[in-house]
Amino acid sequence: MKVHHLNCGTMRAPGGKLLDGQPGLLRRSELVAHCLLIETGDGLVLVDTGFGRKGVENPGAWLGTPFTIMVGAKPVETETAAHHVEALGHKLEDVRHIICTHLDVDHAGGLADFPNAVVHVRTAEHDAATSPANQSEKLRFRANQFAHRPLWSMYDEAGDDWFGFQAVRELKGLPPEILLVPLAGHTKGHTGVAVDTGDGWLLHAGDAYFFHGQMDPVKPHCPPGMTAFQNMVQTLRKPRLENVERLRELSREHADEVTVFSAHSPVEYQSLSRG
């Protein structure tokens, strides 16, 4: 399978060094929306979808004004998943499956661009996003992004062991080289997506962590602003921290077999997209 690394939404939040660790406080940091496009023998698979074309047309209405201001999002057409698919010579209907690490606005914004694709998601995530139980869930999930009634394919806690991670499972209608890896914490039903490329595994860890330094095998680190942000948006603190540690262990002990990366690190994205 061929895997393309896509940036489907650049974010430039104020805070500079406090968020990305680079010199300067009075500048905007930069985050990406790192998605995958996987070419299989039976069509294309997207992992996450970024802001989407409707996010470009009307960011405030589609993504929510508080979100766009907070993260400094200014969506552009050339970064939409739909644009990337077409630029690679495919049709939008060639995307037959979408796997969502979770359903926050910057990950589910492009679902409506692929209305005929089957959307794979954990049941806990689907339920929180489509039937929010509290104000926090109502704010972080955008009902308009699901108004087209996606073709959901949902998964409960069941599966096998994979490099020490439990309840890992294959997905309906997809090759066995693509796996769902539960990583609860950022949201209730947050998950990672593992892809066997033939030259090793890629593990898209979604928002299980945000800063590349958190995976440093010798001296894990994260700027204070980014640490505060992760704490602010987490749903389940203990599982989130446990999964960060497990991902770090995986990255340290199986670096020759598995490449771990998050959804928003520009450092990780640039390294993998160049490769």
pLDDT (tens digit per residue) in 143-172: 999 999 999 999 997 789 999 998 999 999
E-strand ranges in the chain read 2-7, 34-40, 43-47, 95-99, 118-122, 151-155, 160-162, 165-170, 178-182, 191-196, 201-204, 258-261
pLDDT (tens digit per residue) in 83-107: 999 999 999 999 999 999 999 999 9
Residue type, 78: T
pLDDT (0 to 100) of residue 158:
79
pLDDT (0 to 100) of residue 1:
83
Q: What is the mean pLDDT of residues 202-217?
A: 97
pLDDT (tens digit per residue) in 212-247: 999 999 999 999 999 999 999 999 999 999 999 999
Q: What is the mean pLDDT of residues 17-33?
A: 94
Residue 205 binned pLDDT confidence (cut-offs 50, 70, 90):
very high
- Residue 127 parent element (H or E): helix 123-130
Question: What does pLDDT average to over the chain?
Answer: 96
pLDDT (0 to 100) of residue 135:
85
Secondary structure of residue 126 in the 3-state scheme: helix
Phi, psi of 258 (to 5 degrees): -135, 130
Sheet with 2-7: strands ordered across: 2-7, 34-40, 43-47, 95-99, 118-122, 151-155
> Hey, what are 112's tokens?
């409506």
Of 47 and 139, more confident = 47
pLDDT (0 to 100) of residue 155:
96
pLDDT (tens digit per residue) in 116-139: 999 999 999 999 999 998 888 888
> What percentage of the chain reaches a pLDDT higher than 70?
100
CATH 3.60.15.10, domain 2-273, yes or no: yes
| Burial (Cβ within 10 Å: 0-12, 13-18, ≥19) of residue 107 | buried
pLDDT (0 to 100) of residue 139:
85
Q: What is the mean pLDDT of residues 175-187?
A: 96
- Is the pLDDT at 275 greater than 70? The verdict is no
